Chains A and B, each alone.
Chain A
Amino acid sequence: MGGSGVPTLVRVSPDLPVRCHVVTGKGGTGKTTVAAALALALASEGHTVLLVECEGRQGIAQLFDTPPLPYEERRVAVTRGGGEVRALAIDVEEALLEYLEMFYNLRRAGRALRRMGAVDFATTIAPGLRDVLITGKVKEAVTRRVDGRRVYDAVVVDAPPTGRITRFLNVTSEMAGLARSGPIKTQSDGVMAVIRSPQTAVHLVTLLEDMPVQETADAIAELTAAGLPVGSVLVNMATEPELPAAELVRAAEGRLTGADLAPGLTAAGLPEDAELADALAAEVVEHAQRWAAQDALRARVHSLGRPTVELPLLPGPMDLGCLFELAGRLEDHLGAEVAA
């Protein structure tokens, strides 16, 4: 996977590693989880990674089991070799006030506006403004240097869902309806330069289900048309078949009955029970059919022509241990690519 010239998880261009990872996906595909796992994977070997939340859901805090994140960068996990993941939940109002202070020296007036509900109003009537503020913050973190050294080796963004991702990233066109000059315009041009550069990659999280795969295909087409760099497709919650391939095909065609299983069941020490054998056969048929449907979608995902990683469906509730396990899978993928 990931020959030269093909955009991959870590490098879109041969010389420049991707430092800004934007993770999107249809709602319910687990993009927050995947973004968090990706941040952990990138933070291994002593790297410092920022994980950014844009939609005020506090999903990151829940995943890392920490109190709700304030609008400041907080360490949420440490990794091998002294690496760490910091998280930031962007508060759009605060970000706007920051701008007003930075460019117009209007901290106090800004506060007053906020009390009047004006800040909320401005971000409501101009949804593009929200996006400009969020992507601006992301760009700032990606390019931030202290004493000449980069603060973050990588920034991972838990971005809006696939349906909105192109508009979210396409800051320049969003700005068309807003201020056409002045600091915010200048700022948005700077943001666009980073987002379109090979140091950014937009990764798409999908499940092996009809709708998410369709939306992924649509999003790739849209992103490409807008000149935005598409990275990998991350297939989440993938399952492995439990049966040998030949049996799987047979079961998927419904040609498996209790009679095929009954002798083996008694041999395995279970009492003779034709009804149970039939029930197990029915479950196997369903399993095989589900798997066949997934496999067809898997082929569709591969036909999208992007590097693809599969993350397994983990049993039980999602916790930090699970995140590290998923991160491990992503790390293997990263390692394989670096070696390639």
Chain B
Amino acid sequence: MTAAADGATPRPARPARQAPPVDLAALIADPDTRIIVCCGSGGVGKTTTSAALALAAAEAGRRVVVLTIDPARRLAQSLGLEELDNEPREVDVPGIPGRLDAMMLDMKRTFDDIVVAHSTPERAEQILANPFYQTLSSSFAGTQEYMAMEKLGQLRTAERWDLIVVDTPPSRSALDFLDAPNRMSRFLDGTMIRVLTAPARAGGRAGFKFASAGFLIFTRIISKVLGGQLLRDISAFVSALDTMFGGFRERATATYELLRRPGTWFVVVATPEPDALREASYFVDRLSAEGMPLAGLVLNRTHPPASTRLSATRAEAAAEAAAEADDGSPAALVAGALRVHADRMTLAAREQRLADRFTSAHPEVGMRAVPAAAGDVHDLEGLRVMAEALTGPDGDTPTGVPRTRVLPARRA
């Protein structure tokens, strides 16, 4: 950049790298594909992407369940998800060869179910009534991610579906989904919990006499800050849960391993915005470090122009000419139309530039651009349009621009 800006060294004319295409149609139809995880930072359209992919797979004849985390109200309604019973329900899609089930994660309920399944009824009751458990199961950072993993494990074990599509929780960082289960089991199993609950484990308050002076200072400060009741709740919770601890960690590890098994694929979703693409980039690096298979990047909500024959500059100039020749409403309309096109070309150029930047950092990652819908996607028809954009043949677009791109590649 700098060199070229000084004009000292001319930049070699090297065409930007082209992102390879992603064949999502083949991926969802392949009987070996068992799990698809859609991830990305918050607000990029993961839920809609998951639902659209699941619909496309059901239309390709597969028995699919989509696990959504926090769908928009109207989308949830269109999937028949008004009822929050934490179990998959069939979505009524007339005339599809496969079957589509959908569910919305209820994290507290999922957590409660684990507790009930892994302890005696009296114990479970104790745990469920514990105030600390209630905080942990409803507001601990990472519980949602952990429970999404847990639910995924359950759906997989049920063997009722041949494809599970998972939406991931709306966290700021896409990595949270991978990190949360470990963070949570580390936390529940961590030194601090052990120190705090040592008395309970050693058999009630008598245990205190074994504690060191340092520990006493510590509990004193903590209880000043947090209140003694909370400490007692934690202590009671941990001792009640003690038998489940090993189980927790094992389950988290097992589900994590599930994500590395053949048949699992990750689809990273991003909007053409610097922040979203930066997150996508971190995630792609992380997947490759963990040996988890990446299907490709969905570049969601792009704004490809309906024609690329007229550049932004020429459209602007023509808009001015039209406005000058002002002879009433048609001229204003034409000038307006040309400005709409100029804006669209400029926006598309920006989006393409951001996509190119991602591709130069990750040349091996396939890309699929999905144009923004004019309104929100909130019904099956909208999902179908999106499914077509996700799975349609790469070159089959009105402008002939391949679906890996927003604008055509510059001729070298």
Contacts and interface: CB of A to CB of B under 8 A. Distances in A.
Nearest to B378: A210
A261 B221 contact: no
Interface string A88-115: 0000000010011000101001000100
Point out which of A26, A269, A282 has the most chain B C-beta atoms below 10 A from its C-beta: A269
A278 B234 CA distance: 67
A282 B344 CA distance: 12
B274 A244 contact: no
The residue among A96, A279, A289 with the most chain B CB atoms within 10 A of its own CB is: A279
A232 to B, nearest CB: 22
B253 interface: no
A27 B170 contact: yes
Contact of B322 (A268, A275, A283): A268
Given A265-B318, A268-B321, A268-B325, A182 B337 contact: no
A27 B42 contact: yes
B227 A180 contact: yes
Given A27-B42, A210-B72, A264-B331, A243 B374 contact: no
A304 interface: no
Interface stretch (B77-85, B284-292, B306-314): B306-314
B204 interface: no
A261 B72 CA distance: 38
A282 B371 CA distance: 14
A13 B41 CA distance: 40
A273 interface: yes
B74 A121 contact: no
Given A214-B73, A280-B306, A268 B319 contact: yes
Interface residues of B, number: 64
Given A27-B42, A178-B227, A270 B318 contact: yes
Interface string B188-216: 00111000000000000000000000000
A177 B136 CA distance: 13
B254 interface: no
B325 A270 contact: no
Looking at chain A's contact residues, the main secondary structure is helix
A116 B192 contact: yes
B196 to A, nearest CB: 8
A113 B335 CA distance: 67
A11 to B, nearest CB: 33
Contacts of B43: 26-28
A261 B330 CA distance: 8
A281 interface: yes
B42 A284 contact: no
A270 B320 CA distance: 12
Contacts of B224: 104, 179, 182, 184
User: Quick one: which of B132, B306, B341 has the most chain A CB within 10 A?
Assistant: B306
A129 interface: yes
Contacts of B330: 260, 263-264
Nearest to B310: A276
Contacts of B274: 317
A127 B138 CA distance: 11
B26 interface: no
Interface string B313-350: 01000110110010001111111111111011011001
Contact of A267 (B139, B325, B337): B325
B336 A247 contact: yes
A264 B326 CA distance: 10
B306 A283 contact: yes
Contacts of B347: 315
Contact of B222 (A122, A265, A270): A122
Contacts of A96: 225
Contacts of B339: 242
Instruction: Say which size band chain A's interface belongs to.
Output: 35 or more
Contacts of A264: 322, 330-331, 333-334
A92 to B, nearest CB: 12
A264 B170 CA distance: 47
Interface string B133-172: 0011001110000000000000000000000000000101
B309 A100 contact: no
Contact of A125 (B191, B230, B319): B230
Nearest to B214: A112
Given A129-B225, A281-B337, A247 B332 contact: yes
Contacts of B139: 127
A124 B187 contact: yes
A74 interface: no
A248 to B, nearest CB: 9
B376 interface: yes
Contacts of B74: 210
Interface in A1-42: 26-28
Contacts of B7: none
A177 to B, nearest CB: 6
Given A129-B225, A279-B307, A211 B334 contact: no
A45 interface: no
A321 interface: no
A261 B337 contact: yes
B221 A179 contact: no
A249 to B, nearest CB: 12
A55 B187 CA distance: 21
Contact of A118 (B222, B343, B346): B222
B129 interface: no
Interface in A121-167: 121-122, 124-127, 129
A300 interface: no
Given A100-B221, A118-B218, A265-B318, A273 B329 contact: no
Given A127-B139, A247-B329, A265 B225 contact: no
B226 interface: yes
Contacts of A28: 42-43
A209 interface: yes
Nearest to A281: B337
Given A178-B225, A265-B338, 19 more contacts: A27-B172, A109-B221, A117-B192, A125-B132, A125-B140, A125-B226, A129-B225, A210-B376, A242-B337, A242-B343, A260-B330, A261-B334, A268-B321, A273-B309, A278-B306, A279-B341, A280-B310, A293-B375, A317-B274
Interface of A: 26-28, 57, 96, 99-100, 104, 106, 109, 113, 116-118, 121-122, 124-127, 129, 177-180, 182, 184, 209-211, 214, 242-244, 246-247, 260-261, 263-265, 267-270, 273, 275-276, 278-284, 286-287, 289-290, 293, 315-317
11 contacts: A121-B192, A125-B132, A177-B230, A242-B343, A247-B333, A265-B322, A268-B334, A276-B310, A279-B305, A280-B307, A293-B376
Which 3 residue pairs spanning A and B have beta carbons closest together?
Answer: A264-B334, A279-B307, A28-B43
